[in-house]
Amino acid sequence: MARVCEICGKGPVAGRVISRRGMAKKKGGVGKKVTGIAKRRFFPNLQKIRATLHGVRKTIQVCTKCLKTGKIEKGIFRIRPEQA
């Protein structure tokens, strides 16, 4: 299962982490030096929800932005009369 929102298609984004050493100039040092750059990924905040899509209730992964804006209608969970 991919880390992608099934409504808007939002997925992971690439980025970097920069490691530095030394003291900043405004603190009295000679300045910060870059000692390493590592790649990293930023993942969207995905939630598994049971939603109604095209009349069928199924579990999908949706980002929280789609949930907050109301792009997806959550499934209605009722107890059926024959189960009660």
Instruction: Kindly report, residue by residue over 17-54, the tens digit of the pLDDT.
Output: 999 999 999 999 999 999 999 999 999 999 999 887 77
Q: For residue 80, tell me if it sits in a domain.
A: no
Q: What is the pTM of this model?
A: 0.68
CATH code of the domain in which 32 resides? 2.20.150.30
Please count the structural domains in the chain.
1
| H-run or E-run covering 49 | strand 46-53
Gap between the Cα atoms of 78 and 60, Å rounded: 19
Q: For residue 36, tell me if it sits in a domain.
A: yes
Residue 36: phi and psi, rounded to 5, are -170, 150
Q: For residue 20, tell me if it sits in a domain.
A: yes
Give the CA dihedral 77, 74, 46, 48, nearest 10 degrees. Answer: 20
Half-sphere exposure of 35 toward its Cβ, with a 13 Å CA cutoff? 6
What per-residue confidence (pLDDT) applies to 77? 55
Domain range for 44: 13-69
State pLDDT tens for residues 44-77.
Answer: 999 999 887 777 788 899 999 988 888 887 766 5
What per-residue confidence (pLDDT) applies to 84? 47
What per-residue confidence (pLDDT) applies to 67? 87
